[in-house]
């Protein structure tokens, strides 16, 4: 059974940093591209980032480019999202998701990030 478990969310002040993790199991992690997608409270889903199987290629939404960095550790079956220079508008539940045929298929339960002073 595919499982994705996010962690690392919490309350952080504007301008601060946070690193999210996503532990994967139930599939061959190193064979799949991975996504981060976020959802602000009461709002819709927004694509954040995607990373290639070996971590050699990454892409980002314009709203986070230059502030967020996606990475992965295939030996630990873990995906990361380093978030720097956080803003109020980054407040959201952050989901990791597995790639299948260039779309997200399985999703984790999400981790909540609150940016507030």
Partner 1 sequence: QSALTQPRSVSGSPGQSVAISCTGTSSDVGSYNFVSWYQQHPGKAPKLMIYDVSVRPSGVPDRFSGSKSGNTASLTISGLQAEDEADYYCCSYAGSQSWVFGGGTKLTVL
Which residues form the interface with partner 1 (CB under 8 A)? 35, 37, 44-47, 50, 57, 59, 61-63, 95, 100-110
CB of 28 to partner 1, least distance (A): 18
Q: Report how far residue 77's alpha carbon sits from residue 64's, in angstroms, rounded to the nearest whole number.
A: 24
* Residue 28 or 109 having the CB closest to partner 1: 109
8 Å CB contact between 34 and 51: yes
* Residue 18 or 96 having the CB closest to partner 1: 96
Quick one: which of 59, 49, 41 has its CA closest to 96?
49
CB of 34 to partner 1, least distance (A): 13
CB of 11 to partner 1, least distance (A): 20
8 Å CB contact between 83 and 19: yes
* Residue 47 or 77 having the CB closest to partner 1: 47
Quick one: which of 79, 27, 88 has its CA closest to 51?
79
Dihedral angle sign, alpha carbons of residues 26, 29, 35, 39:
positive
* Residue 42 or 117 having the CB closest to partner 1: 42
CB of 75 to partner 1, least distance (A): 25
């Amino acid at each position: 059974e595919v499982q994705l478990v996010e962690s690392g969310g919490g309350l952080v002040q504007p301008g601060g940093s946070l690193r999210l993790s996503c532990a994967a199991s139930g599939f061959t992690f190193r064979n799949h591209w991975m996504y981060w997608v976020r959802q602000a409270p009461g709002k819709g889903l927004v694509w954040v980032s995607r990373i290639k199987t070996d971590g050699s290629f990454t892409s980002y939404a314009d709203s986070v480019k230059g502030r967020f960095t996606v990475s992965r550790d295939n030996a630990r079956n873990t995906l990361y999202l380093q978030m720097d220079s956080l803003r109020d508008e980054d407040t959201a539940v952050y989901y990791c998701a597995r790639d299948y045929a260039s779309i997200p298929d399985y999703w984790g339960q999400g981790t909540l990030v609150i940016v507030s002073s």
